[in-house]
Amino acid sequence: MNIIEVSRKRDSILKFENKVYCPLCNKMQYSSVDKLYVTAYEKCIVCSTPEEVEINGANILEIIGTWN
């Protein structure tokens, strides 16, 4: 799913019942940021390079920043 789709579907992604796992390391994600990150980029923060986390993390924080 791309970042725009994740933004549109964020409420359903973040539901407690929705379990999100990193497809690379298979660890379940618990925080809102981690759930959105894995859904958008198909890997968790641990499996990403620091450069990817910096750039992609900013995109995820923008999605979270639109909650009002």
- The mean per-residue pLDDT over the stretch 12-27 comes to 96
**What pLDDT, on a 0 to 100 scale, did the predictor assign at position 1?**
87
Q: What is the pLDDT of residues 34-58, one digit of tens each?
A: 999 999 999 999 999 999 999 999 8
**CA dist., res. 26 & res. 4, Å (int):** 24
Give the number of other CB atoms < 10 A from CB of residue 35.
23
Q: pLDDT at residue 61 above 80? A: yes
pTM for the model stands at 0.88
